[in-house]
């Protein structure tokens, strides 16, 4: 019997190891309009999860992106919330975190990045490295997340590929290594050549545009000139660029990639599907499987949580209410860090110090829910949240530790908000509490608790707040923006703090004292006036 039990344990261990090795959990990051959501949909197309891809910014009545579910997202054509999708691709299981690209939604994006093992950075071939790209890459570097770079929109007029490679290196302070190289650009974009074997993939536009898989013809680079498929000018440019890369380019080291020292660079057109499949093939080979994660132990030390050797553990990186108006519930998104998850299992809730049952687990693509019977390290699952989960919560079978805290971000805009109908106050308070728990906004109160404010990283978060209060809680609101642009925690007695005129003292949801300033100059003046107090930036 003992031998049989050992065989069972060994079999389960091996199954867990195999399942974990197949997982690729990643986020797509980019500046707005670089084509991130289009790429997301094309990955679903090539996985077989969807049969046809719709335009992200379609005409009225047209299709919207498969990953966008909120009405406001569909109206504006941008991703506002981070969604999670799982799909098989050949021998791999892909967990895709489609993060918001709009600069006002960086806080949700940053939290979602903690759940990723790697990231795909999408760059517009005409615009290069933009401001939001730099911010998101900085977070990846801070958390040592390896990044693959995809230069998108090669079918449109853009900058020379060598210039884009140089800009990636200079702007992001990382080595760039071209895995493939474009054959032509704009209307002349005909395909890509893989540098490792000098094999060419030539693409043909289909009658359905980018809605279906593209036709591909492969050949050796030396046969390309003879084929007559590209002009002598394009051929000469490709050969010139490849020679330069051979002489002065960076070699691709998988170890350096995993260490965040080099980013593999690919060229494609997500709109026409040119280069998407070969990029996904390379991503599966390069991107890491889920690895160990550091946690703080209850006795004040640190512990490395191995995905295979440790029993089930996970943490909450996102809360979202009312994803489906018919359900009117809240979903906690969990990143599985170790062990096997099974439906209805009972685990320890580390913050609350009690056991909870993980019932009704599901995965999501847009508003479509699928019940999850089991999950493995790297997987993202949604759990119905009856008010017991908060962002950053750790759950596990064993207890005794907590995963590292999720980053917090300093709000930059502040406002007062109130319902237009005082009779809707109860619904208003319920909606405000829900969205504060999700991190859509932060709620701050005056020191005497008589006045409340809302704070956010960007203005669009206030738009989302009002939109969701209107559509989910039937509450119309009035929002008055306040003249403050930065803030800091105050360490010291607020009664003796000498604040500048353009400032305000409040407290956050945890009861910590916060000072709001009209600008950074006022913050500097306050520091100089109060040597016995500490102004600590949020972050």
Beta bridge partners of 319: 332
Under 8 Å CB-to-CB from 142, ≥6 apart: which residues?
none
Residue 432 lies in a domain: yes
Which residues in 504-528 are b (16+ Cβ under 10 Å) and which e? bebbbeeeebbbbbbeeebbebbee
Average pLDDT over residues 16-43: 87
Judgement on whether residues 277 and 314 belong to the same structural domain of the protein:
no
Largest CA distance in the chain: 82
Q: What is the pLDDT at residue 242?
A: 95
User: With contact defined as beta carbons under 8 Å apart, do 302 and 292 qualify?
Assistant: no
Residue 386 lies in a domain: yes
pLDDT of residue 508: 85
Last residue of a domain, one of 349, 374, 403: 403
**Gap between the Cα atoms of 232 and 289, Å rounded:** 43
> SS in 3 state form for 398-450?
CCCEEECCCCCCCCCEEEEEEECCHHHHHHHHHHHHHHHHHCCCEEEEECCCC
Residue range 198-250, pLDDT digits in tens: 999 998 876 566 677 888 899 999 898 888 888 999 999 999 999 999 998 89
One DSSP character per residue, 302-325 reads EEEE-TTTS--EEEEEEEEE-SST
Task: Name which residue leads in pLDDT, 498 or 10.
Answer: 498
CATH at 117: 3.40.50.300
CA-to-CA separations, 320 to 8, 94, 259, in angstroms, rounded? 38, 22, 33
Q: Is residue 347 part of a domain?
A: yes
Do 301 and 168 lie in one domain? The reply is no
pLDDT (mean) for 337-351: 95
CATH number at residue 342: 2.40.30.10
> What tokens does 500 get?
């500048």
CATH number, domain of 490, equals 3.30.70.3280
**Which tokens is 171 given?**
């702007």
Instruction: Give the end of a domain, one of 254, 269, 286.
Output: 286
pLDDT in tens, 78-89: 333 446 788 888
Examine residue 101 and state whether it is found in any structural domain, yes or no: yes
Q: Same domain for 319 and 278?
A: no
Tell whether 86 and 195 lie within a shared domain: yes
Interior angle at CA 37, CA 35 and CA 42, nearest 5: 90
Most confident of 23-37, 162-176, 205-219, 309-323: 162-176
Least Cα distance to 16 among 295, 258, 310 occurs for 310
Neighbours of 222 (CB within 10 A): 9
Q: Which of 432, 462, 451, 426 is nearest to 507 (CA)?
A: 451
The length of the chain is: 539
Q: Which of 461, 444, 467, 460 is nearest to 516 (CA)?
A: 444
CA–centroid distance for 27 within its chain: 4
Number of domains in the chain: 3
28 and 164 part of one domain? yes
- pLDDT attached to residue 73: 46
In whole angstroms, give the CA distance from residue 5 to residue 63: 53
β-pairing, 147-152 vs 262-267, is parallel
Mean pLDDT of 432-459: 81
Do the Cβ atoms of 455 and 482 come closer than 8 Å?
no
For 355, the token pair is 């056991």
| DSSP three-state, residue 286 | helix
- The angle, 0 to 180 degrees and rounded to 10, between the axes of the packed helices 425-438 and 459-473 is 130
- Tell me what pLDDT residue 118 has: 96
Rounded CA gap, 133 and 224, in Å? 35
Partners of 456 in the beta sheet?
Answer: 413
Residue-number span of the structural domain to which 93 is assigned: 2-286
Condensed to tens digits (0 to 9), the pLDDT of residues 275-331 reads 999 999 999 999 999 999 999 999 989 999 999 999 999 999 887 765 555 555 678
**Alpha-carbon torsion (468, 472, 478, 480), positive or negative:** negative
User: What are 124's strand-pairing partners?
Assistant: 128, 152
Average pLDDT over residues 386-411: 86
Q: Are 461 and 105 in contact (CB under 8 A)?
A: yes
28 has which bridge partners?
Answer: 98, 120
Nearest to 307 by CA among 17, 61, 76: 17
DSSP secondary structure string for all residues of 23-73: EEEEEEEESTTSSHHHHHHHHHHHHTS-SS---TTPPTTS---TT--SHHH
* pLDDT at residue 370 is higher than 80: no
Confidence (pLDDT) at 57:
37
Residue 437 shares a structural domain with residue 532: yes
Start-to-end CA distance of the chain, whole Å, equals 54
- Choosing from 248, 269, 286, the residue where a domain stops is 286
Based on the fold, state whether residues 235 and 264 are members of the same structural domain: yes
Instruction: Point out which residues pair with 59 in neighbouring strands.
Output: none
Q: CA-CA distance, 483 to 438, in Å (whole number)?
A: 25
pLDDT for res 207: 55
The pLDDT of residue 101 is above 60: no
Gap between the Cα atoms of 324 and 347, Å rounded:
27
| Higher per-residue pLDDT: 213 or 158 | 158
pLDDT in the model for residue 54? 47
User: Domain check: are 368 and 433 in the same one?
Assistant: no
Least confidently predicted of 22-26, 108-112, 236-240, 346-350: 108-112
Same domain flag for 399 and 417: no
Supply the pLDDT for residue 10: 82
Q: Indicate if 192 and 320 belong to the same structural domain.
A: no
**3-state SS class at 335:** strand
Contact 341, 23 (CB under 8 A): no
Same domain for 305 and 238: no
Residues 6+ away with beta carbon under 8 Å from 492:
530, 532, 533, 534
Q: How large is the average pLDDT for residues 131-137? A: 79
Two tokens at 194?
Answer: 């893989």
Contact 117, 382 (CB under 8 A): no
Note whether residue 225 is domain-resident. yes
Q: Is residue 408 part of a domain?
A: no
pLDDT at 60: 38
Average pLDDT value for the chain: 84
If asked whether residues 145 and 27 sit together in one domain, one would say yes
pLDDT above 70 (res 31): yes
Higher pLDDT, 67 or 512: 512
């Amino acid at each position: 019997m003992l031998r049989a039990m050992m065989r069972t344990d060994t079999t389960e261990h091996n199954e867990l190891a195999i399942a974990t090795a197949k997982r690729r959990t990643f986020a797509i990051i980019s500046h707005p309009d670089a084509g991130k959501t289009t790429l997301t949909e094309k990955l679903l197309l090539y996985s077989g999860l969807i049969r046809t891809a719709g335009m992200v910014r379609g005409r009225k009545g047209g299709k919207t992106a498969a990953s966008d579910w909120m009405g406001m997202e569909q109206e504006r054509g941008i991703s506002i919330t981070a969604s999670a999708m799982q799909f098989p691709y050949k021998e791999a299981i892909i967990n895709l975190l489609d993060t918001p690209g709009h600069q006002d939604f960086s806080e949700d994006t940053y939290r979602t990045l903690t759940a990723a093992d790697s990231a795909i950075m999408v760059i517009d071939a005409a615009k290069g490295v933009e401001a939001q790209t730099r911010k998101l890459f900085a977070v990846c570097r801070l958390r040592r997340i390896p990044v693959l770079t995809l230069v998108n929109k090669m079918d449109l007029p853009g900058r020379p590929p060598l210039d884009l490679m140089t800009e990636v290196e200079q702007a992001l302070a990382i080595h760039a290594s071209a895995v493939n190289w474009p054959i032509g650009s704009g209307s002349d974009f005909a395909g890509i050549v893989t540098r490792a074997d000098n094999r060419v993939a030539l693409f043909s536009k289909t009658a359905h545009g980018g809605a279906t898989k593209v036709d591909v013809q492969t050949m050796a680079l030396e046969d390309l000139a003879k084929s007559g498929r590209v002009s002598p000018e394009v051929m000469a440019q490709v050969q010139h660029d490849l020679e330069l890369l051979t002489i002065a380019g960076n070699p691709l080291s998988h170890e350096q990639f995993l260490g965040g020292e080099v980013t593999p660079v690919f060229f494609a057109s997500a709109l026409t599907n040119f280069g998407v499949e070969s990029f996904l093939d390379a991503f599966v080979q390069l991107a890491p499987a889920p690895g160990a994660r550091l946690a703080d132990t209850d006795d004040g030390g640190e512990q490395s949580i191995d995905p295979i050797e440790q029993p089930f553990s996970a943490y909450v990186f996102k809360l979202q209410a009312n994803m489906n108006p018919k359900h009117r519930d809240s979903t906690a998104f969990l990143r599985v860090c170790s062990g096997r998850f099974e439906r209805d299992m009972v685990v320890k809730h580390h913050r609350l110090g009690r056991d909870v049952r993980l019932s009704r687990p599901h995965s999501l693509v847009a508003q479509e829910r699928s019940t999850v019977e089991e999950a493995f390290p790297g997987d993202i699952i949604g759990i119905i949240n009856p008010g017991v989960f908060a962002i950053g919560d750790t759950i596990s079978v064993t207890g005794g530790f907590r995963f590292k805290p999720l980053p917090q971000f300093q709000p930059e805009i502040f406002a007062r908000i109130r319902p237009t109908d005082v009779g809707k106050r109860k619904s208003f308070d319920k909606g405000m509490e829900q969205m504060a728990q999700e991190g859509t906004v932060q709620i701050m109160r005056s020191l005497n608790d008589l006045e409340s404010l809302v704070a956010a990283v960007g203005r669009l978060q206030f738009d989302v707040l009002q939109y969701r209060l209107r559509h989910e809680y039937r509450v119309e609101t009035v929002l008055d923006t306040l003249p403050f642009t930065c803030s800091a925690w105050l360490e010291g007695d607020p009664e003796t703090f000498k604040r500048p005129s353009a400032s305000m003292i409040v407290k956050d949801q945890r009861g910590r004292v916060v000072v709001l300033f009209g600008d950074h100059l006022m913050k500097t003046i306050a520091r100089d006036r109060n040597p016995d107090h500490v102004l600590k930036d949020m972050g």
